[in-house]
Amino acid sequence: MSKRPLSPTAEAPPPTTKRRRSRSASPASLSLPSTHKLAFSATASTAGPSPAFQQPTQLISFSYTPEREFELTDSALRYLVQPPRNAQLAHAYDRWERRPERRSRIDGLLRALSAARAKRHPALASGVGVVAWRGVMTRILTSPYEEREGWDLNVMCVDGVLYFEEHLSDARLREKNDIEPRHRLQTYFGYAFESYCTSHTPGGANVPQNPGDPPGWGGDVDTNVQWCSVVRTKLGDTRMVIGGEVDCVREKYTGATDTFVELKTSLVIRGPHDEVKFEKRLLKFYMQSFLLGVPEILVGFRTPAGQVSTTQVFKTVEIPRLVRGKLHAWDPTTCLRWGNAFLGFLQAQLKGQPERDVWRVRFTPGMGVELRALDAVEVEDVVAGEERVGFLPRVYWDEVRPKNGTKAAG
């Protein structure tokens, strides 16, 4: 059955309610609206032009080391190589250095943005309206087609800029860390594929480092290590800074996004049902790469046991054509239209609100989003005893809201 694209409809905000004063609450937070909603309407027309989306321009790149230290270097950059035939993705599973799931902070992205500002990157001259990780923006934009998983985001609006941070409850964190063995292994398959497909040197071949490693193995998986790109783009009238991990580059790194490659794995397609599942997954494949300006995606099709049967390259801009006209089709125009409405909704609701306030956006599949201000106790939970104003690091807050009234460019 075809899933009807959904259109956003804003509900009128409820009357303002008074809150009891908390010692840790800012004076301006004492009278906040309860809940605002932006709902999907299953009957409203989705006709109309798509909001413009600007080709992403890279601002800066950075790396995380095996010790999970932030570096403004390309030490974690990897280059694409051809994986061996019948690669076994379960190899070295017992040696996986798996980074535990923790609260998703925006700190690394903000440090990179600060460095780009310090260099006076020309793409920042006209200002910024949104700062977020690529994963957060992917969740937002693919919401019209999400049928099962809801999400929660923390939001702050500082000097007119919306900052987003994924919110994970303690229960959800435990669930992600206590993943069942079968799903844990399937997750590892994706990382192992990256090891087979990448090298530390351009044009190089992977030489096994340990006895028993198969040909083409690029090294044991350590999910602490990441190479990230930060780009500037624009959706409608909103200029955005988005950061995300890049798996590798093809042949050479140009300082732009034109040689970026995304690596994915998927089960071998054995029939029409598998084809439908894969083509639905293509929406997230597409949006993740589209947002960061990644031009191609290399997919390794694997057996249930983790053997790569074949690989296929997908050009990002061509992916929507693969599903067009099918019963399970998705349309990126619907995603962009919803994303533009979502950002406009937040900008309107948070305009004039105290900048120290933290807001929670909750998405319910098929329904839409609800926005509410967090109370003092909830904000303290977000801060988690760290040097922060809301979820922003204190050092960044002082940079963009200095006491003398001047502020950072861009």
Q: Could you state, in order of their start, the residue ranges of all structural domains in the chain?
A: 1-59+122-167+231-243+331-410, 77-103+175-224+246-328
Cα–Cα dist 165/408, whole Å:
21
10 Å CB burial of residue 26 (0-12, 13-18, 19+) is middle
- DSSP symbols for 141-205: HTGGG--S--EEEEEEEETTEEEEEE---HHHHHHHHT--HHHHHHHHHHHHHHHHHEESSTT--
Mean pLDDT of the chain: 89
Long-range contacts of 176-181 (CB under 8 A, 24+ apart): 176/101, 177/100, 177/101
SS3 390: coil
CA-CA distance, 117 to 128, in Å (whole number)? 11
Encode pLDDT of 104-163 as tens digits: 899 999 999 999 999 999 999 999 999 999 999 999 999 999 999 999 999 999 999 999
Q: Each residue of 158-186: pLDDT tens digit?
A: 999 999 999 988 888 888 888 999 999 99
Amino acid at 37: K
* DSSP code at position 307: B
What pLDDT was estimated at residue 6?
A: 45
In 100-145 the beta strands, taken as DSSP E runs, fall at: 130-133
What are the C-alpha distances in Å from 182 to residues 179, 189, 297? 8, 11, 25
pLDDT tens digit sequence for 299-312: 999 999 999 999 99
CA atoms within 13 A on the CB side of 90: 9
pLDDT digits over 27-56, tens only?
A: 334 444 578 999 876 324 355 688 999 999
- pLDDT tens digit sequence for 342-386: 999 999 999 999 999 999 999 999 999 999 999 999 999 999 999
> Which tokens belong to 288?
């993740």
